Chain A
Amino acid sequence: MLYRALADLDAGKRVIRKGCVFLGKELGESVCDALLQRGRIAVVSTPPLIVLPNWTIRAELLRTVGIVTVEQFLEFDTDELAKAIERTLEKVNEWKKEVKAQFVIDNRRRSG
Protein backbone atom coordinates (compact mmCIF):
# COMPACT_ATOMS: atom_id res chain seq x y z
CA MET A 1 0.00 0.00 0.00
CA LEU A 2 1.11 3.56 -0.67
CA TYR A 3 1.10 6.13 2.12
CA ARG A 4 1.72 9.83 2.52
CA ALA A 5 3.65 11.13 5.53
CA LEU A 6 1.65 13.74 7.43
CA ALA A 7 4.63 14.47 9.70
CA ASP A 8 8.39 13.98 9.43
CA LEU A 9 8.86 10.26 10.12
CA ASP A 10 12.05 9.07 11.77
CA ALA A 11 12.66 5.65 10.24
CA GLY A 12 16.02 5.08 11.90
CA LYS A 13 18.57 5.62 9.17
CA ARG A 14 16.44 8.08 7.23
CA VAL A 15 13.66 10.58 7.69
CA ILE A 16 10.60 10.45 5.45
CA ARG A 17 9.63 14.09 5.10
CA LYS A 18 6.12 15.39 5.58
CA GLY A 19 4.22 15.28 2.29
CA CYS A 20 6.34 12.50 0.74
CA VAL A 21 4.89 9.17 -0.33
CA PHE A 22 6.32 5.78 0.53
CA LEU A 23 5.44 2.12 0.28
CA GLY A 24 4.14 0.31 3.34
CA LYS A 25 6.86 -2.31 3.04
CA GLU A 26 9.49 0.39 3.64
CA LEU A 27 8.40 0.68 7.28
CA GLY A 28 6.44 -2.53 7.71
CA GLU A 29 2.67 -2.80 7.74
CA SER A 30 2.42 -3.02 11.55
CA VAL A 31 4.32 0.26 11.90
CA CYS A 32 2.07 1.81 9.24
CA ASP A 33 -1.02 0.63 11.12
CA ALA A 34 0.23 2.34 14.29
CA LEU A 35 1.05 5.54 12.39
CA LEU A 36 -2.37 5.49 10.73
CA GLN A 37 -4.03 5.23 14.12
CA ARG A 38 -2.09 8.25 15.33
CA GLY A 39 -2.94 10.20 12.21
CA ARG A 40 0.68 10.56 11.15
CA ILE A 41 0.23 8.98 7.72
CA ALA A 42 -2.62 8.63 5.23
CA VAL A 43 -3.36 6.05 2.55
CA VAL A 44 -2.80 7.37 -0.96
CA SER A 45 -5.26 6.25 -3.62
CA THR A 46 -3.34 5.98 -6.83
CA PRO A 47 -4.73 6.42 -10.33
CA PRO A 48 -3.98 4.28 -13.39
CA LEU A 49 -0.58 5.12 -14.91
CA ILE A 50 -2.27 5.95 -18.21
CA VAL A 51 -3.76 9.17 -16.78
CA LEU A 52 -0.41 10.60 -15.72
CA PRO A 53 0.96 13.32 -18.01
CA ASN A 54 3.43 11.93 -20.59
CA TRP A 55 2.95 8.38 -19.43
CA THR A 56 0.83 6.94 -22.24
CA ILE A 57 3.61 4.94 -23.91
CA ARG A 58 5.13 3.77 -20.67
CA ALA A 59 1.71 2.83 -19.30
CA GLU A 60 1.07 0.68 -22.38
CA LEU A 61 4.45 -0.98 -21.96
CA LEU A 62 3.88 -1.69 -18.27
CA ARG A 63 0.41 -3.03 -18.98
CA THR A 64 2.04 -5.87 -20.93
CA VAL A 65 3.38 -7.21 -17.64
CA GLY A 66 0.13 -6.64 -15.75
CA ILE A 67 0.93 -3.27 -14.19
CA VAL A 68 -1.92 -0.80 -14.41
CA THR A 69 -1.85 1.44 -11.33
CA VAL A 70 0.84 3.61 -9.81
CA GLU A 71 0.83 1.44 -6.70
CA GLN A 72 1.34 -1.76 -8.69
CA PHE A 73 4.23 -0.10 -10.51
CA LEU A 74 5.96 1.12 -7.34
CA GLU A 75 5.52 -2.20 -5.57
CA PHE A 76 6.80 -4.32 -8.45
CA ASP A 77 10.34 -5.61 -7.92
CA THR A 78 12.61 -3.28 -9.88
CA ASP A 79 15.11 -5.93 -11.06
CA GLU A 80 12.36 -8.23 -12.23
CA LEU A 81 10.53 -5.42 -13.99
CA ALA A 82 13.64 -4.15 -15.78
CA LYS A 83 14.20 -7.63 -17.22
CA ALA A 84 10.55 -8.11 -18.12
CA ILE A 85 10.22 -4.88 -20.11
CA GLU A 86 13.82 -4.93 -21.36
CA ARG A 87 14.88 -1.63 -19.86
CA THR A 88 17.84 -0.83 -17.64
CA LEU A 89 17.57 -0.88 -13.87
CA GLU A 90 18.50 2.81 -13.81
CA LYS A 91 15.68 3.65 -16.21
CA VAL A 92 13.06 1.83 -14.11
CA ASN A 93 14.34 3.51 -10.95
CA GLU A 94 14.17 6.87 -12.71
CA TRP A 95 10.55 6.22 -13.71
CA LYS A 96 9.64 5.19 -10.17
CA LYS A 97 11.23 8.35 -8.83
CA GLU A 98 9.32 10.42 -11.36
CA VAL A 99 6.00 8.83 -10.42
CA LYS A 100 6.63 9.25 -6.70
CA ALA A 101 7.49 12.91 -7.21
CA GLN A 102 4.05 13.53 -8.71
CA PHE A 103 2.41 12.60 -5.43
CA VAL A 104 4.59 14.65 -3.10
CA ILE A 105 2.88 17.59 -1.48
CA ASP A 106 5.26 20.23 -0.19
CA ASN A 107 3.06 21.77 2.46
CA ARG A 108 5.68 23.31 4.67
CA ARG A 109 5.07 26.94 5.35
CA ARG A 110 7.97 29.20 4.64
CA SER A 111 8.46 32.77 5.69
CA GLY A 112 8.68 35.51 3.12
Chain B
Amino acid sequence: MAQTTTAISACDASIWLDDEAGALTDISGSSSVLNFEFVQDTAIVPTFQGDWKIRTACGRDATVTLTAVYTTANSEAVDLIKDWFFNYRGTKRTLTFYLPDKNVGSDKYSGEFLMTGFSSTISGGTPDPVTVEMGLESSGAVTWTTAAT
Protein backbone atom coordinates (compact mmCIF):
# COMPACT_ATOMS: atom_id res chain seq x y z
CA MET B 1 0.00 0.00 0.00
CA ALA B 2 1.24 3.51 -0.81
CA GLN B 3 2.75 5.49 2.04
CA THR B 4 0.34 8.03 3.49
CA THR B 5 0.67 11.70 2.67
CA THR B 6 -1.87 12.91 5.20
CA ALA B 7 -0.19 12.31 8.57
CA ILE B 8 -0.80 15.20 10.96
CA SER B 9 0.99 16.90 13.80
CA ALA B 10 -0.76 18.46 16.76
CA CYS B 11 0.87 21.88 16.37
CA ASP B 12 -2.30 23.58 15.18
CA ALA B 13 -4.82 21.62 17.25
CA SER B 14 -7.56 23.81 18.62
CA ILE B 15 -8.94 23.27 22.14
CA TRP B 16 -12.10 24.94 23.40
CA LEU B 17 -13.66 24.82 26.87
CA ASP B 18 -16.82 26.38 28.26
CA ASP B 19 -16.43 29.33 30.59
CA GLU B 20 -18.80 29.98 33.49
CA ALA B 21 -21.37 31.48 31.11
CA GLY B 22 -21.30 28.43 28.84
CA ALA B 23 -19.41 30.23 26.09
CA LEU B 24 -16.80 28.06 24.38
CA THR B 25 -13.42 29.69 24.94
CA ASP B 26 -10.29 29.00 22.93
CA ILE B 27 -7.65 27.71 25.35
CA SER B 28 -5.26 26.42 22.69
CA GLY B 29 -2.75 29.17 23.44
CA SER B 30 -2.59 28.36 27.13
CA SER B 31 -2.57 24.57 27.07
CA SER B 32 0.04 22.21 25.71
CA VAL B 33 -1.01 18.58 25.96
CA LEU B 34 -4.35 16.88 25.58
CA ASN B 35 -4.65 13.18 26.18
CA PHE B 36 -7.90 11.52 25.24
CA GLU B 37 -9.06 7.97 25.63
CA PHE B 38 -12.22 6.38 24.31
CA VAL B 39 -13.18 2.99 25.70
CA GLN B 40 -15.94 0.50 25.15
CA ASP B 41 -17.12 -2.00 27.77
CA THR B 42 -16.72 -5.55 26.59
CA ALA B 43 -17.43 -8.89 28.17
CA ILE B 44 -16.54 -12.47 27.37
CA VAL B 45 -19.33 -14.85 26.44
CA PRO B 46 -18.37 -18.25 27.80
CA THR B 47 -19.64 -21.30 25.95
CA PHE B 48 -18.95 -24.98 25.95
CA GLN B 49 -16.93 -26.39 23.08
CA GLY B 50 -15.50 -23.06 22.06
CA ASP B 51 -11.80 -22.46 22.46
CA TRP B 52 -11.82 -18.99 20.86
CA LYS B 53 -13.36 -16.36 23.13
CA ILE B 54 -16.35 -14.43 21.84
CA ARG B 55 -17.37 -11.05 23.20
CA THR B 56 -20.26 -8.64 23.49
CA ALA B 57 -19.96 -4.86 23.78
CA CYS B 58 -22.06 -2.19 25.42
CA GLY B 59 -21.31 1.16 27.08
CA ARG B 60 -18.75 3.66 25.87
CA ASP B 61 -16.81 6.22 27.81
CA ALA B 62 -14.31 9.01 27.30
CA THR B 63 -11.66 10.46 29.56
CA VAL B 64 -9.45 13.44 28.88
CA THR B 65 -6.39 14.84 30.56
CA LEU B 66 -5.50 18.40 29.68
CA THR B 67 -2.19 19.98 30.53
CA ALA B 68 -2.42 23.75 30.84
CA VAL B 69 0.26 26.35 31.27
CA TYR B 70 -0.12 28.24 34.55
CA THR B 71 -0.81 31.81 33.46
CA THR B 72 -2.24 34.80 35.24
CA ALA B 73 -4.62 36.15 32.59
CA ASN B 74 -8.39 35.86 32.76
CA SER B 75 -10.14 33.41 30.44
CA GLU B 76 -7.03 31.38 29.81
CA ALA B 77 -6.95 27.66 30.56
CA VAL B 78 -5.86 27.74 34.19
CA ASP B 79 -8.22 30.59 35.02
CA LEU B 80 -11.13 28.53 33.67
CA ILE B 81 -9.96 25.42 35.52
CA LYS B 82 -9.66 27.18 38.88
CA ASP B 83 -12.99 28.92 38.50
CA TRP B 84 -14.73 25.69 37.46
CA PHE B 85 -13.31 23.69 40.37
CA PHE B 86 -13.75 26.22 43.17
CA ASN B 87 -16.93 28.01 42.12
CA TYR B 88 -18.96 25.54 40.07
CA ARG B 89 -18.60 22.21 41.80
CA GLY B 90 -20.33 19.33 40.04
CA THR B 91 -21.25 21.22 36.89
CA LYS B 92 -20.67 19.88 33.40
CA ARG B 93 -18.91 21.85 30.71
CA THR B 94 -18.42 21.36 27.01
CA LEU B 95 -14.97 20.48 25.77
CA THR B 96 -14.38 20.61 22.02
CA PHE B 97 -11.17 19.98 20.19
CA TYR B 98 -10.24 20.01 16.52
CA LEU B 99 -7.57 18.00 14.72
CA PRO B 100 -5.39 18.84 12.90
CA ASP B 101 -6.70 22.42 13.08
CA LYS B 102 -9.93 24.39 13.26
CA ASN B 103 -10.56 24.50 9.53
CA VAL B 104 -13.20 23.01 7.29
CA GLY B 105 -12.66 19.28 6.95
CA SER B 106 -10.95 18.79 10.30
CA ASP B 107 -12.05 16.26 12.89
CA LYS B 108 -14.15 17.76 15.67
CA TYR B 109 -14.64 15.96 18.97
CA SER B 110 -17.12 17.43 21.41
CA GLY B 111 -18.93 16.45 24.58
CA GLU B 112 -20.01 17.38 28.07
CA PHE B 113 -17.50 16.65 30.79
CA LEU B 114 -17.16 16.66 34.55
CA MET B 115 -13.88 17.64 36.08
CA THR B 116 -12.33 14.98 38.31
CA GLY B 117 -9.72 17.40 39.62
CA PHE B 118 -6.52 19.18 38.76
CA SER B 119 -2.96 18.91 39.97
CA SER B 120 0.38 20.58 39.65
CA THR B 121 3.89 20.31 41.01
CA ILE B 122 5.77 23.49 41.71
CA SER B 123 9.47 23.65 42.36
CA GLY B 124 11.57 26.61 43.36
CA GLY B 125 14.68 25.15 41.80
CA THR B 126 13.68 25.14 38.16
CA PRO B 127 13.01 27.81 35.55
CA ASP B 128 10.43 25.64 33.79
CA PRO B 129 6.95 27.08 33.36
CA VAL B 130 4.43 25.72 35.84
CA THR B 131 1.84 23.45 34.32
CA VAL B 132 -1.48 22.14 35.59
CA GLU B 133 -3.04 18.82 34.72
CA MET B 134 -6.81 18.54 34.72
CA GLY B 135 -8.76 15.30 34.55
CA LEU B 136 -12.11 15.11 32.76
CA GLU B 137 -14.71 12.38 32.41
CA SER B 138 -17.48 12.48 29.84
CA SER B 139 -21.13 12.69 30.85
CA GLY B 140 -23.31 11.67 27.92
CA ALA B 141 -22.31 11.17 24.32
CA VAL B 142 -19.09 12.51 22.90
CA THR B 143 -19.50 13.23 19.21
CA TRP B 144 -17.04 12.98 16.36
CA THR B 145 -17.91 15.07 13.30
CA THR B 146 -16.18 16.85 10.46
CA ALA B 147 -16.00 20.63 10.79
CA ALA B 148 -18.06 22.12 7.97
CA THR B 149 -18.17 25.78 8.92
**When the two chains form their complex, are residues B105 and A27 in contact, meaning their CB atoms are under 8 A apart?**
no
Q: Is A10 an interface residue (CB 8 A)?
A: yes
> What is the size, in residues, of chain A's interface with B at 8 Å between Cβ atoms?
16
**When the two chains form their complex, are residues B149 and A31 in contact, meaning their CB atoms are under 8 A apart?**
yes
Given A10-B149, A12-B149: A37 and B144 interface contact (C-beta under 8 Å): no
Chain B interface main SS type: strand
**When the two chains form their complex, are residues B149 and A35 in contact, meaning their CB atoms are under 8 A apart?**
no
Q: Which of A7, A37, A111 contacts B146 (CB 8 A)?
A: A7
Q: Is B73 an interface residue (CB 8 A)?
A: no
Chain A interface main SS type: mixed
Closest residue to A12 on the B side, CB-wise?
B149
Q: How far is the CB of A85 from chain B (nearest CB, A)?
A: 32
**When the two chains form their complex, are residues A35 and B105 in contact, meaning their CB atoms are under 8 A apart?**
yes
Q: How far is the CB of B7 from chain A (nearest CB, A)?
A: 14
Q: Is B57 an interface residue (CB 8 A)?
A: yes
- Bitwise, A49-68 to B at CB < 8 A (1) or not (0) is 00000000000000000000
Q: Which of A15, A27, A31, A111 contacts B57 (CB 8 A)?
A: A111
Q: How far is the CB of B117 from chain A (nearest CB, A)?
A: 30
Q: Is B147 an interface residue (CB 8 A)?
A: yes
Q: Is A96 an interface residue (CB 8 A)?
A: no
**When the two chains form their complex, are residues A10 and B148 in contact, meaning their CB atoms are under 8 A apart?**
yes
Chain A residues, CB < 8 A from B104: 31, 34-35, 38
- Contacts from B to A (Cβ < 8 Å): 57, 103-105, 108, 143-149
- Contacts from A to B (Cβ < 8 Å): 7-12, 15-16, 27, 31, 34-35, 37-38, 40, 111
- For the complex of A and B, the 3 pairs showing the least CB-CB separation, nearest first, are A38-B105, A10-B145, A9-B148
